[in-house]
């Protein structure tokens, strides 16, 4: 198991809050607004914010040419597919349950790591995966009927989660000799181009002027999600073992469910509260320091 440093704990707490409350914010942002266009606008505003952060911190922008191909592969699995599919899923599903389906990623990541990347998971890690999986099932308890009527949204969210899981495994193993913020900036910039093309091709005939609510969601995503959260996640994914970095963010869908309840009036049940306990157990199973032999 892995013990987090104080800096990693601070980043994790802030990441959990920002990404958790962003699910109902995204739902509000794509309600009555083209989803790919919403994401495109977030990226066009968020990429310069991230670039300014690199300048302020004196982080270099250059990535050697021999690593461009690997950068593209990382962007495809960490950014392109995830952002295109999950924002469409959010429009067709409730905000909290979109978060739950999106955060099946840790389970996908743990299984992929064990089956294809040679990760040897101790019993505590598998127990954490099991607890997190049961928590997801409980959170979806009252949504099965609704979800079954929206198979495309469910499928898109699960495909997005599984590709993000693969991207996390690849990012953990990258040997690019550049700072994580540099990788984050260029993946975000590349995703801006890809989402712009998709929005123009598929949604140009549905473009409308954003309402104040839409603008608020766009600015929140631009500044806090693309300007901070993605860089924070890549930092954790690169600095922690895969199972620790992925299961450590399992409280995000819990925050998403409860913030969705407060903001959008979604009804909570006992299964939601039980899932909170299971998510905490999952995180503790992976991150609690092992007892040292005396």
pLDDT tens, residue by residue, 165-195: 899 889 888 889 999 899 999 999 999 999 9
280: which 2 tokens? 């905490």
Question: Who contacts 75 (Cβ-Cβ below 8 Å, separation ≥6)?
Answer: 186, 187, 190, 191
CA distance 116 to 173: 13
CA distance 52 to 181: 11
Question: Who contacts 212 (Cβ-Cβ below 8 Å, separation ≥6)?
Answer: none
CA geometry: angle 158, 32, 92, nearest 5 deg: 20
pTM score: 0.83
The predicted structure's pLDDT at residue 74: 96
The predicted structure's pLDDT at residue 286: 58
The predicted structure's pLDDT at residue 294: 46
155: which 2 tokens? 């499928």
Phi/psi zone of residue 272: left (φ > 0), alpha (ψ -120 to 50 degrees), beta?
A: alpha
For the chain, list residues with pLDDT below 70.
1-3, 121-122, 125, 139-151, 241-250, 266-267, 272, 279-280, 282-294
- State how far Cα 218 lies from the chain centre: 17
């Amino acid at each position: 198991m892995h013990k987090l440093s104080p800096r990693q704990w601070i980043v994790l707490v802030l990441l959990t809050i920002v990404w958790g409350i962003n699910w109902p914010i995204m739902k509000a942002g794509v309600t009555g607004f083209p989803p790919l266009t919403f994401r495109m606008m977030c990226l066009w505003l968020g990429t310069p914010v991230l670039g300014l952060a690199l300048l302020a911190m004196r982080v270099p922008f250059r990535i050697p040419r021999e690593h461009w191909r690997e950068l593209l592969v990382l962007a495809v699995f960490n950014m392109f597919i995830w952002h295109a599919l999950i924002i469409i899923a959010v429009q067709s599903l409730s905000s909290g349950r979109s978060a739950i389906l999106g955060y099946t990623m840790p389970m996908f990541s743990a299984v992929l790591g064990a089956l294809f990347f040679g990760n040897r998971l101790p019993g505590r890690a598998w127990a954490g995966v099991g607890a997190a999986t049961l928590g997801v099932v409980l959170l979806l308890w009252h949504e099965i009927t609704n979800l079954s009527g929206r198979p495309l949204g469910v499928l898109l969210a699960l495909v997005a989660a599984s590709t993000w899981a693969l991207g996390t495994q690849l990012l953990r193993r990258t040997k690019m000799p550049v700072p994580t913020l540099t990788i984050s900036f260029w993946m975000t910039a590349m995703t801006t181009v890809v989402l712009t093309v998709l929005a123009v091709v598929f949604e140009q005939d549905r473009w409308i002027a954003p309402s104040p609510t839409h603008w608020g969601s766009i600015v929140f995503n631009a500044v806090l999600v693309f300007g901070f959260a993605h860089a924070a996640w890549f930092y954790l994914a690169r600095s922690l073992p895969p199972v620790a970095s992925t299961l450590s963010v399992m409280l995000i869908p819990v925050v998403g469910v409860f913030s969705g309840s407060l903001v959008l009036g979604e009804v909570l049940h006992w299964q939601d509260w039980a899932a909170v306990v299971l998510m905490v157990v999952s995180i503790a199973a992976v991150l609690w320091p092992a007892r040292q032999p005396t």
